[in-house]
Structure 1
Amino acid sequence: MKTRFIFCLILSVFLSTHSFAQQKRTKIGVAGLTHGHVGWILNAKDRADLEIVGIAEPNRELAKRLTKQHGISMDLVFDTMEEMLEKTKPEAVTAFGNIYDHLAVVEACAPRGIHVMVEKPLAVSLEHAQKMKTLAEKHNIHLITNYETTWYPSTFKAYEILQSGEVGDLRKVVVRDGHKGPKKIGVSDEFLEWLTDPKLNGGGAIIDFGCYGANLVTWLENGKRPKSVTAVTQQLQAENNPKVDDEGTIILTYDDSQAIIQASWNWPIGRKDMEIYGLTGAIYADNPTDVRVLNAEGYSGFEETEYNLEYEKTPFEDPFTLFLAVINGELILDEYALPSLENNMIVVEILSAAVESAKTGKTVYLK
């Protein structure tokens, strides 16, 4: 049984070599500072296993503000990717700009043999994703995608229970992700500008949060592509999101199961949760650390088991630990692992079909 990618096979190797890997600081470049999650890498500047050697960001005011906030020298900031790569020679690059620019990052890094990790989703379109995949394979680099839910203990516990057969064969998955909306939660102006731009982000909530569900369902379905994609979007906050949707529902059909992805910038409370239904029971991943399993009894009765989990010190504790483990050869990702290129190509295919379905009002059947 595969859990946590090939966790059981690799973890012992990782733990035995991790202390030695930490003695080597992998040189990391940062592509862009406009993403609201960029603080994650900037806060990692003093880690023993990585060194930020360069930052590419043309917005000098933004760069000055963030480097001052995180205690980083402006000497590390360059106006262009090309200059940063040539002068600092990073071994890997983390992309924290808009989604449209992910392709440009890979185009710059792949020919130089530089590994890349992008924030979710992988790309704004299937055309961009296919170009990125071709470059990664041609130049033999790792190209992985970071999702917050990849680091949740509840994600893997839910998968483990499903794979064990405790709730029977998979029949339905419901994934809900979102918050009040980027403007309402107070994201930076630089982030808001492209997050609500249909070209730079690929869409609104359907892309920003729909990707989580597409990623998780593809993993739970062991890499299967859905037979059909049906999506409905709405714009409920035209004053805040004038160019993009802020409410989206995606329905995926498979031969013997169905998935419903609810992506919203209108939830009153921020959420990232998942429900998995089998033939004999259900699994609820309520938040990062809490899982409930309901085993059916009779018509509406059930026996409930609760799991209150803790974060474990494994390659899956945060994106940079995993990224370094992959590029340093300490971890081999399962083919359809959550961060994997194979999984995220399907994610982009699903999202592209969902955008088409929402625009046309028709179900899209994948070839």
Structure 2
Amino acid sequence: MRKLRFAILSFAHVHSWSYARVLRELENVEFVAIFDDDEARLKRASEQYGVEKTYTDFRKLLEKEELDAVIITSENAKHKDMAVAAAEHGVHILCEKPIATTLRDADDMLTYANRYNVKFQTAFVMRYHGVTVKVKELLENGEIGDIRVITTTNHGKYPGGWFGEPELAGGGAIMDHTVHTADLMRWYTKSEADTVYAMKAKNIRPQLRAEDAASMLIRFKNGVLGSIDCSWSRPDTWPIWGDVYMGIFGTEGYIVVDAFRSCIDLVTDKQPLKWIYFGTDCDLEMIKDFIRVIVEDRVPRASGWDGRQALEIALAAYKSIERDEPVKLPLKY
């Protein structure tokens, strides 16, 4: 089987560097080109991953290179233009979350993917973690009966840079950290959100223009109640980026999910606390599955629609904060 030809469109997002590592590790992939509108970042990525073909215009990259797929890891607000252009060139798309900053942009992206018959996968890496996949299996087997409540946290450190610029990120911690656990709740409950009620706290970092501390309640159409603490609540010196924690209450049992517990905490005389993770490589598993989706003409486990629906929950949270009341879904433009 021939190797699939990949390009990465922007190294603006912190996850892009790990995705590039995976492309280099996979034997059935050829990492052929990089786009970035930041020339210094483009040079660094090119040198680090040994990719000679570099572009500061993603449209020129798509015109000149024969590609099978792109990974879009630009600032959130720039996803739409890249996804539309990729679709027009018949190139499959793996898009970082959140897939857009507005529902209109998200819907346009999915429309173009469907029109040009390309795969659109959302980078919901937590659907590819061994722990969360096992939980899905337990729930499907009815191990805890019917789900009643899911409590979740997706804490993290402030990523810095454009993540604190609402014009590029679409918001702050809500936009960045709601979508992962909101998506897992949709996946586990097989239901859509009906009502969202959110509150934001006084910022931990008062200099930020975006929120960094918030929580929300979600009622799903099947009656399940969910909660999300999506705060950038970890200090910069924290040895790990954050967490993905879930408590799933059922009529016949309870499941606790601590997705990144597979780690070693190391302290020596020469260095402070260091966190060494040895669990599932989610990025590797996600991209391997994306390749299977392309080669075997399958539906992605985390589709563009899944990305759109998780985005809607985050946007509903902002509306709830603005109105200081619960917001019903679906949202209107």
Q: TM-score, normalised by structure 1?
A: 0.79
Residue matched to 1:250: 216
Residue matched to 1:231: 198
SS of corresponding position for 1:133:
helix
Residue matched to 1:357: 320
2:138 is the alignment partner of 1:161: yes
CA RMSD between the two structures: 2.1
SS of corresponding position for 1:101:
helix
Asked whether the 8 Å contact 2:243–2:260 carries over to 1, the reply is no
**In 2, distance between residues paired with 1:108 and 1:163?**
38
- Counterpart selection for 2:3 from 16, 25, 29: 25
- Counterpart selection for 1:282 from 238, 249, 254: 254
Change (3 A) 1:126 1:88: same
Give the CA deviation at 1:134: 1.0
Q: Give the aligned residue type for 1:252.
A: I
Structure 2: give runs of 5+ residues left out of the alignment: 263-277
CA deviations 1:147-195 (Å, max 9, x no partner) are: 232231110111111221121111001111122322xxxxxxxxx3321
Runs of 4+ in 1 over 3 A off after TM superposition: 309-312, 330-333
Residue matched to 1:78: 55
Structure 1 residues 105-144: aligned runs within 5 Å: 105-144=82-121
Q: Give the aligned residue type for 1:36.
A: V
Residue matched to 2:19: 41
**In 1, distance between residues paired with 2:280 and 2:101?**
31
Give the CA deviation at 1:317: 5.0
Change (3 A) 1:151 1:358: same
| Percent identity (aligned) | 25
Asked whether the 8 Å contact 2:11–2:36 carries over to 1, the reply is yes
**In 2, distance between residues paired with 1:244 and 1:42?**
29
Q: Give the aligned residue type for 1:281.
A: G
**In 2, distance between residues paired with 1:330 and 1:138?**
16
Structure 1: give runs of 5+ residues left out of the alignment: 1-22, 183-191, 291-308
**In 2, distance between residues paired with 1:235 and 1:140?**
45
CA deviations 1:262-321 (Å, max 9, x no partner) are: 10101466211111110121001112467xxxxxxxxxxxxxxxxxx9759xx9952221
Change (3 A) 1:180 1:193: closer
Change (3 A) 1:273 1:30: same
**In 1, distance between residues paired with 2:293 and 2:284?**
14
Give the CA deviation at 1:113: 1.0
2:301 is the alignment partner of 1:329: no
Residue matched to 1:211: 179
Give the CA deviation at 1:214: 1.1
Q: Give the aligned residue type for 2:309.
A: I
**In 2, distance between residues paired with 1:198 and 1:152?**
29
Asked whether the 8 Å contact 1:152–1:289 carries over to 2, the reply is no
**In 2, distance between residues paired with 1:332 and 1:102?**
21
**In 2, distance between residues paired with 1:91 and 1:317?**
18
SS of corresponding position for 1:318:
helix
Give the CA deviation at 1:363: 0.8
Asked whether the 8 Å contact 2:68–2:91 carries over to 1, the reply is yes
Asked whether the 8 Å contact 1:54–1:90 carries over to 2, the reply is no
SS of corresponding position for 1:173:
strand
**In 1, distance between residues paired with 2:124 and 2:25?**
23
Structure 1 residues 289-328: aligned runs within 5 Å: 311=280, 317-328=284-295
Q: Give the aligned residue type for 2:218.
A: L
Q: TM-score, normalised by structure 2?
A: 0.86
**In 2, distance between residues paired with 1:93 and 1:134?**
17
**In 2, distance between residues paired with 1:235 and 1:148?**
30
**In 2, distance between residues paired with 1:68 and 1:54?**
12
Change (3 A) 1:361 1:142: same
Change (3 A) 1:38 1:317: closer
CA deviations 1:82-121 (Å, max 9, x no partner) are: 1111111211110111111110111111111111111111
Q: Give the aligned residue type for 1:323.
A: F
CA deviations 1:324-361 (Å, max 9, x no partner) are: 1111126444xxx4x11222221111111111111221
SS of corresponding position for 2:166:
coil
Asked whether the 8 Å contact 2:55–2:61 carries over to 1, the reply is yes
**In 1, distance between residues paired with 2:315 and 2:283?**
28
Residue matched to 1:96: 73
Matched residues, number: 308
Asked whether the 8 Å contact 1:153–1:288 carries over to 2, the reply is no
**In 2, distance between residues paired with 1:253 and 1:54?**
43
Q: Give the aligned residue type for 1:220.
A: Y
